[in-house]
Amino acid sequence: MYLKIEKLFFKYQNPGIESRFILKNINFQIHGNEIIGLAGQSGSGKTTLIQHLNGLLKPTQGHIYYDDKELFSKQISLNEIRSQVGIAFQFPESQFFNETVEEELAFGPKNLKKFSPSEIQQQIQDALELMGLDFEKFRHRNPYYLSGGEKRRVALASVIAMNPALLVLDEPTAGLDHSGILLLENLIRQYRIRRKSLFIVSHNIDSLLEFVDRIMILHQGEIVFDKPKHDFIFSEEKILQWGLKPPPFMNYVQPLKKYFINNQNRITSRTELFNALTLRSVL
The one of ligand ATP, Mg ion, none whose footprint includes residue 44, by CB under 5 to 8 A per kind, is ligand ATP
At residue 66, the 3 state secondary structure works out as strand
Rg (alpha carbons) of the chain, rounded to whole number: 20
What is the distance between the alpha carbons of residues 72 and 64, in angstroms, rounded to a whole number?
Answer: 9
Rank residues 159 and 273 by Cβ distance to Mg ion and give the closer one.
159
What is the distance between the alpha carbons of residues 211 and 205, in angstroms, rounded to a whole number?
Answer: 10
The one of Mg ion, ligand ATP, none whose footprint includes residue 40, by CB under 5 to 8 A per kind, is ligand ATP
Residues 6+ apart with CB under 8 A from 210: 269, 270, 271
What minimum distance in Å lies between the beta carbon of 265 and ligand ATP?
A: 32
What minimum distance in Å lies between the beta carbon of 89 and Mg ion?
A: 9
What minimum distance in Å lies between the beta carbon of 88 and Mg ion?
A: 12
Rank residues 8 and 49 by Cβ distance to Mg ion and give the closer one.
49
Strand order across the beta sheet in which 23-31 lies: 23-31, 2-10, 61-66, 69-70
Pick the piece of the chain touching Mg ion (CB under 5 A) from 43-51, 69-77, 242-250, 265-273.
43-51
What is the distance between the alpha carbons of residues 32 and 38, in angstroms, rounded to a whole number?
Answer: 17
What minimum distance in Å lies between the beta carbon of 218 and Mg ion?
A: 10
Among 25, 33, 41, 47, binds Mg ion (CB under 5 A): 47
The one of ligand ATP, Mg ion, none whose footprint includes residue 43, by CB under 5 to 8 A per kind, is ligand ATP
What minimum distance in Å lies between the beta carbon of 156 and ligand ATP?
A: 17
b/e per residue 179-214 (b: at least 16 CB within 10 A):
ebeebbeebbeebeeeebbbbbbbbebbbbbbbbeb
- Run of H or E residues at 119: helix 117-130
The residue sitting closest to Mg ion, measured at its beta carbon, is 47
What is the distance between the alpha carbons of residues 219 and 206, in angstroms, rounded to a whole number?
Answer: 17
Instruction: Using CB under 6 A, list all residues that contact ligand ATP.
Output: 12, 14, 22, 40, 42-48, 90, 203
Rank residues 46 and 196 by Cβ distance to Mg ion and give the closer one.
46
Rank residues 44 and 95 by Cβ distance to ligand ATP and give the closer one.
44
